Chains A and B, each alone.
Chain A
Amino acid sequence: MSTALNNNADGWDPLIVAFCCNWCSYAGGDLAGTSRMSYPANVKVIRVPCSGRLNPMFVLRAFQRGADGVLVAGCHPGDCHYSTGNYHSRRRLSSFKRLVEFAGFEPERFEVRWISSSEGDKFAEEMEAITGKIKALGPNRKMRDARWQNVT
């Protein structure tokens, strides 16, 4: 299963994990679907109740397991379904981004976006944008834990 660990950029296709809050961004993704927009299949969405539920640990784990990019998407600040969740995530994740940069990891691999449930087009655009960006950056070599790939 872990054969194509793509150190050759030819066969490499980026893997991007997107954590989307249930109320805005996940619904925005649904709208992108019902509007039949299209974006690269590299992005796989994990649903969380709120962007405030996003523990930076989840992001680190995705990178460890070989994800090339991670996107967190939540309601626009001020529109959080739980009133304040995305304020917490905004502060927490912006300092987290600086922390990974400080640790020597490419901060561009980690993005936070606000996408409302009516912004299906924005959802598709953001998925397109991050895929393009990660493709340009190349595979995540620094944080990927090769041991894990062999275990599974």
Chain B
Amino acid sequence: MPRTGVFICHCGTNIAGTVDIARAIDASRNFPGVVHADEYRYLCSEMGQDLIKNAINENNLDRVVVGTCSPRMHEGTFRKAAAEAGLNPYMLEVANIREHCSWVHRDIEEGTPKAIALLRAAAAKVALNDPLDSPELEVEKRALVIGGGIAGIQAAIDIAEAGYVVDVVEREPSIGGRMAQLEKTFPTLDCSACILTPKMVEAAQHPNINLITYSEVEEVKGFVGQFDVKIKMKARSIDPVKCTGCGVCYEKCPAKAPSEFEMGMTKRKAIYVPFPQAVPNVPVIDRENCLYFKKGRCQICAKECPPQAVDYEQQDQIIERRYGAIIVATGFDQLDPSSYGEYGYGQHPDILTALEFERLFNASGPTGGKVVRLSDGKPPKKVVFIQCIGSRDKARGMNYCSKICCMFTAKQAILLKEKVPDAKSYVFYIDVRTAGKGYEEFQRRAAEEYDVAYLRGQVGKIFPEGDHLVVHGVDSLSGKVVDIKADMVVLAAASIARADAPEVGRIVGINSDSYHFFNEAHPKLKPVETHTAGVFIAGACQAPKDIPDTVAQAGAAAVKAIGLLSKDVLKGEACTAIVNQAECSGCLYCEAVCPYNAINHIEIEERYHEEMHKRTVAEVNPSLCQGCGSCSVACRSGSINLKGFTNEQILAEVDAICLQR
């Protein structure tokens, strides 16, 4: 027979004003299993907690019901008190007689019977409580960062500086990401390479950082503290130890392919480094375009390479490693605006996306840093920038604001004026959004000091006329239709999730919003956590964001990862599912509904009619289980139960509540 103690809190008059405490105490004494009932003005105070602890000891109580505020408020407090008195903390239940009773009902006559019903339900449930333990998990003191852009680099450096080993997996041959493609950064006009390259070098040289470039994460198994990860290192065809980065190979290589780094505006060789400041400065052979791999002859790079570093026989390798924490920082893509027929993107060389236009400013870019028209090599005198291409467009594009376009457009208009002083810029915009330190001032400088004309409106069509492009749009503020004879048009195409973001999300076990951006665990209070414990997100894979926000988020993600790695063991969820394997029929519906991959199937052997038989049954990994209980309902034979919320406990609550009459 249980020995339950009931404790009712007055909460000043918050509860006592609407619930007749004396009547509730009297009623509680008659609940099955209740041997003690008491009240206190403020149970959560130290005195109140002492009252509970003393009563547990004096009356030899083995379970406790507190009638107080919401369990979401003080369940932890009272469980701790119960534990201090020697009880298992899970032998306590809370009856929420404040938020769900005294605060929402008018008077004592309404509040008191309901409070009694809630207390009776809690007492009925607690009678069936079992002591629970949180599983303990060991933590592997090594972090994985997926993505080597500015977010990944920053997170890796922060973790490494805290003394933990961190691996950075980057798909491209070099780290650097989108930031490496930029010429200048707003709102200070710092040269992007000048602030990024030192960070890339720091990451490469840090004793705790291990760069795994030209590689992809193939599989993530396990759970917080113990993620088992398979990383595929694509064959580079170069021995990175022998290679000195002299560059002879790609000077001599005869095969060419469009350069991904230059947005396809120029060619690179089949053996290449993506850009001059690449880290590591080790080329790769793109086997799809290499003459030797395609046709079996050439091998010029191997012949020319002074240290004999070229190795055509290299194979893809799989690295298997265990990590305690994972940071996903896979960045973003730029929307391809060619689906917007009215802008004519892809049909005229002088209609560019913003990222393509950015490359024109770069000294190592496709024009060697000269801002010229790709059609005739002349500097553009009139450039039209169009904002919100695919952003804020729920019909044909993305419903969200891409956040960075207003600023990078102002930046590019300023840079243009500096490179081509007699150039005139026009910006078609819907709204100019410049929230950020120094941002509004920067945009106003573009308009006031750099003579950038801002036209509030959109463009209906662009068509070539002679060697110009006629941009037909509207200035909604004057209510006038405008036709601008432009030399060049720059489209601020939306920032979108990486094409393979759903795949990455599936592998790592994080969910995404309807645009495939990864979801944080809470939009305000858990901005870098995900619903998978131990996996954090940083940068533009979560939503479009600028560099300062990305770096801040990377730091935040690193701190969360460091906090995790600094622990030797972790406490898991105590209320987990448990399989009664004697009854399990092995249908494995539970495995299919589990959102955490916490259910596996195993084979057990059992004696049946004097013979040993093998049988498949489900098994719950309590370290992974988060206690949602989906499996317990999917189970056809009712052989999975959820500890802390067992079928029996919930039914007991139902019975107790319905007993009111």
Contact = CB atoms under 8 A, between A and B. Distances in A.
Per the CB under 8 Å rule, do A and B touch in the complex?
yes
A92 to B, nearest CB: 7
Contacts of B655: 61, 65
A41 B658 contact: no
B634 A33 contact: no
A85 B628 CA distance: 7
Contacts of A57: 647, 651
B549 to A, nearest CB: 24
Interface in B551-574: none
Contacts of A22: 72
Contacts, number: 140
A36 B121 CA distance: 24
A1 interface: yes
Contacts of B531: 81-83
Interface string A43-66: 011111110111101100110011
Interface string B505-541: 0000001000000000000000000010000000000
Nearest to B105: A41
A30 B660 contact: no
Contacts of A67: 654, 657-658
Contact of B104 (A38, A46, A152): A38
B28 interface: no
Counting chain B residues whose Cβ lies within 8 A of the other chain, the interface size class is 35 or more
Given A30-B99, A82-B595, A54 B114 contact: no
Contacts of A115: none
B661 interface: yes
Nearest to B647: A55
B575 interface: yes
B30 to A, nearest CB: 10
Contacts of B420: none
B629 A152 contact: no
A4 B113 CA distance: 15
Interface residues of A, number: 49
A84 B99 CA distance: 28
B171 interface: no
Interface string B28-43: 0000000000000000
B407 interface: no
A62 B100 contact: no
A30 B651 CA distance: 23
A32 B658 contact: no
A46 B657 contact: yes
Contact of B100 (A2, A3, A30): A30
Given A41-B114, A58-B654, A83-B531, A2 B661 contact: yes
A52 B629 contact: yes
B634 A88 contact: yes
B632 interface: yes
CB-based closest 4 A-B pairs: A33-B99, A53-B629, A65-B658, A82-B628
Interface of A: 1-6, 15, 17, 22, 26-27, 29-30, 32-34, 36-39, 41, 44-50, 52-55, 57-58, 61-62, 65-67, 81-85, 88, 92, 124, 149, 152
7 contacts: A15-B658, A22-B72, A30-B96, A52-B630, A55-B632, A83-B511, A84-B630
